[in-house]
Chain A
Amino acid sequence: MKTPENTLVNVQNLRKYFPLKMGFFKTLLMKESPYVHAVDGVSFNIEKEEIFGLVGESGCGKTTTGRLILRLLEPTEGNVRFGSIDVTAISNEEELRKLRRHMQIIFQDPYESLNPRMSVYDIVSEPLNLQKITQNPDEIRKRVEDILEDLELTPPEEYLYRFPHELSGGQRQRIAIARAFVLRPQFLVADEPVSMLDASIRSEVLQLLLGLVKKHHSSFLYITHDIALARHICNRVGVMYLGKMVEQGPAEDVILKPLHPYTEALIAAVPVPDPTARRGEVIIRGEVPSAVNPPSGCRFHTRCPYAWDLCQKEEPKLIEIQENRLVACHKFKA
């Protein structure tokens, strides 16, 4: 399975530092300007037709990673390969646009990601026009109707000329999904696509989304803070903490037998919809430190119950300790 031919997206040592905005006098006083280390050396692969989950708390850099892969943000360092193409090396707009036909994104908030002045038809057909897939109006209409039908917005005629404000949250998110899938992309990034939706609607939207991923044989990067949901959706997951990947492996293994103390704590903190179940104690205290001055050594050492002096000095590398299971912790030796 793990062959280079099977890899669709390859992320190597990706970094993104955002400069911190400061007042004029502060900039004079500081020797070097401070940066937010949003993503700090992240590497992973996404195989063909694989659903990879990026999990972590807010501020861990999962959203930034997703945007860097699509080059919606310029990386500070590192590179991203999509098939045989080096995404980070593309310098002209036109080529980037061609590439985006194959890589699409679904945003978190369907109340903000849809233009309120555009009708459903305009929203969903826009990518087709931008990518100049076809000039034939009948064909465009056919493709828009088909994708709406796939998302069970039926009959499509009833939705085509509505505006976002006439739709419910669940319907809006389906439009956002339709807009991404109308190009039949090979790779899709979804940033918390259902976190704004109610539980009863969430599962249906997810099922439709996963149905489309399967139908088009797409690879899928699913970004979420909800590790319980990631378990249900993803083949593999990567857990991020303060800009670093701390653990990676098959979803079921990572969630049932976490290796990294942070993953363990994260899973212990997730409430379980069963009043008779006893979950583990939350073993860590405090909150995530600032990404401007991240802790030395292992970034988790300030909150880790197992930390010893080595953790403060030396940063652990992400190593494979079992087949397909990677972890960055001094507790484990390769």
Chain B
Amino acid sequence: MAILDVQNLKMYFETLRGHVQAVDDISFKMNKGDALGLAGESGCGKTSAALTILRLLPWNGSVVGGGVFFDGVNILEMSPEKFRDEFRWKRISVIFQGAMNALHPTMRIGTQISEPIISHEGVTKEEAYNRAARLLDLVGIGASRIDRFPHELSGGMKQRTVTAMALACNPELVVADEPITALDVIVAAQVMRVMAELQKKLNLSMVFISHDLSMLAETCNKIAIMYAGKIVELGDVVAIYKEPLHPYTERLIGAFPSVIGEKKELAAIRGFPPDLLHPPSGCRFHPRCPYAMPLCKSIEPSLIETDNSGHSVACHLVKA
């Protein structure tokens, strides 16, 4: 059974100028041990989708339709208290973007990591501290640094501390929102390696949210490409990168340079991402799509499965 099953999820932000359709009817499934990459440009709704799943929406965001089933239970329907007591940290946790700002500057990292363990599992301070030490070993910082303050750590170590924190209560699903954007290439590679190893070792299910398709190619086994609040393509990582079906996916992958293989011209997508207050009619990509037909302007394509492997695409050019 799927550990995470998102069904027709819609989440709109209420603003003075109207509804921003940040997440508009997305569906996907994840099995235990999957690493799903949620990819897309800024403003495509990938972080909003994650916040909805984590039930961390800001006050003006509301779920308009659909459900998020975690292990068969719709977590959007339960009370906030129940979600907090039974799911947050214990079963679903999050690694936020920008570890520099996610840590409390005047608390020792050991105390910060023990905090969720104490409040969620009711263990003693000493036990929580011992577990924090083990977690720091696990992410490669070393238990000896448990009494350090965040400012004494480098960027890579802070990011790993935040990772350790997310793992504090042995969750089944971890959502990582742009975990390496603020880091330098070599440090980023080290952090990603730690995360990939942990994911395998602990059989975690992970959702990686990123705009960096190169990074996702190396860490995920499934990819969902989002554009303007919709999932436009979904499937196995190799299928997505090797045989992309949606014109947007194809160009987006082509826009990433590579240090290996032959030098190819970088693909460009003309125009700008749409305003989600007034998304384009029909297929939301049609104003920028080189293959757009009259049909694309009027009718919205639905996400259809193209083969048995679960490769789905929302484009009129592809027939089921």
The contact of A275 among B186, B238, B266, B273, by CB within 8 Å, is B238
The answer to whether the Cβ of B320 comes within 8 Å of any Cβ in the partner chain is: no
| Closest Cβ neighbor of B221 among chain A residues | A275
Q: Are A270 and B214 in contact (CB under 8 A)?
A: yes
Chain A min CB distance to B77 (Å): 35
> Which A172-198 residues sit within 8 Å CB-CB of chain B?
198
| Closest Cβ neighbor of A232 among chain B residues | B257
The answer to whether the Cβ of A255 comes within 8 Å of any Cβ in the partner chain is: yes
Q: Are A275 and B41 in contact (CB under 8 A)?
A: no
Q: Are B154 and A200 in contact (CB under 8 A)?
A: no
| Closest Cβ neighbor of A288 among chain B residues | B184
Q: Are B41 and A274 in contact (CB under 8 A)?
A: no
Q: Interface digits, A263-307 against B, CB 8 Å rule (1 contact, 0 not)?
A: 001111111111111010010110110000000000000000000
Q: Are A273 and B259 in contact (CB under 8 A)?
A: no
Q: A255-B259, A287-B154 are in contact. Are A271 and B215 (CB under 8 A)?
A: yes
The answer to whether the Cβ of B143 comes within 8 Å of any Cβ in the partner chain is: no
Q: Are B273 and A231 in contact (CB under 8 A)?
A: no
The answer to whether the Cβ of A74 comes within 8 Å of any Cβ in the partner chain is: no
A190 to B309, CA, bound (A): 45
Q: Are B184 and A57 in contact (CB under 8 A)?
A: yes
Q: Are A200 and B185 in contact (CB under 8 A)?
A: no
| Closest Cβ neighbor of B41 among chain A residues | A198
Chain A min CB distance to B47 (Å): 14
A231 to B264, CA, bound (A): 10
Identify which of A20-28, A201-209, A314-322 touches chain B: A201-209
The contact of A273 among B192, B211, B217, B269, by CB within 8 Å, is B217
The answer to whether the Cβ of A30 comes within 8 Å of any Cβ in the partner chain is: no
Q: Are B267 and A203 in contact (CB under 8 A)?
A: yes
A266 to B270, CA, bound (A): 31
Q: Which residues of B contact A199 (CB under 8 A)?
A: 41, 211, 213, 252, 255-256
The contact of A198 among B189, B192, B215, B273, by CB within 8 Å, is B273
Identify which of A76-84, A123-131, A222-230 touches chain B: A222-230
Q: Which residues of A contact B218 (CB under 8 A)?
A: 271-272, 275, 279
Q: Which residues of A contact B185 (CB under 8 A)?
A: 57, 225, 227, 266, 269-270
Q: Interface digits, B182-212 against A, CB 8 Å rule (1 contact, 0 not)?
A: 0011111110110000000000000000011
Q: Are B190 and A271 in contact (CB under 8 A)?
A: no
Chain B min CB distance to A304 (Å): 13
Q: A199-B255, A200-B251, A271-B189 are in contact. Are A276 and B242 (CB under 8 A)?
A: yes
Which of B238, B259, B263 is most buried by chain A, counting CB atoms within 10 A of its CB?
B259
A153 to B25, CA, bound (A): 34
A274 to B184, CA, bound (A): 21
A284 to B270, CA, bound (A): 39
Q: Are A203 and B268 in contact (CB under 8 A)?
A: yes
A9 to B42, CA, bound (A): 38
A268 to B41, CA, bound (A): 25
| Closest Cβ neighbor of B184 among chain A residues | A57
| Closest Cβ neighbor of A282 among chain B residues | B189
Q: Which residues of A contact B252 (CB under 8 A)?
A: 199-200
Q: Which residues of B contact A268 (CB under 8 A)?
A: 189
The answer to whether the Cβ of A168 comes within 8 Å of any Cβ in the partner chain is: yes
Q: Which residues of A contact B193 (CB under 8 A)?
A: 282
The answer to whether the Cβ of A34 comes within 8 Å of any Cβ in the partner chain is: no
The contact of B259 among A168, A198, A201, A228, by CB within 8 Å, is A228
Q: List 25 A-B contacts (CB under 8 A).
A: A57-B185, A171-B272, A198-B211, A199-B211, A199-B255, A200-B251, A201-B41, A204-B268, A228-B214, A228-B257, A229-B257, A256-B260, A266-B186, A268-B189, A269-B186, A270-B189, A271-B214, A273-B217, A273-B241, A273-B253, A274-B258, A274-B260, A276-B241, A277-B261, A287-B186
* B positions within 8 Å CB-CB of A: 41-42, 154-156, 184-190, 192-193, 211-215, 217-218, 237-238, 241-242, 251-253, 255-261, 263, 266-270, 272-273
Of all A-B residue pairs in the complex, the 7 with the closest CB atoms, nearest first, are: A269-B189, A203-B268, A271-B214, A200-B269, A198-B41, A228-B257, A273-B256
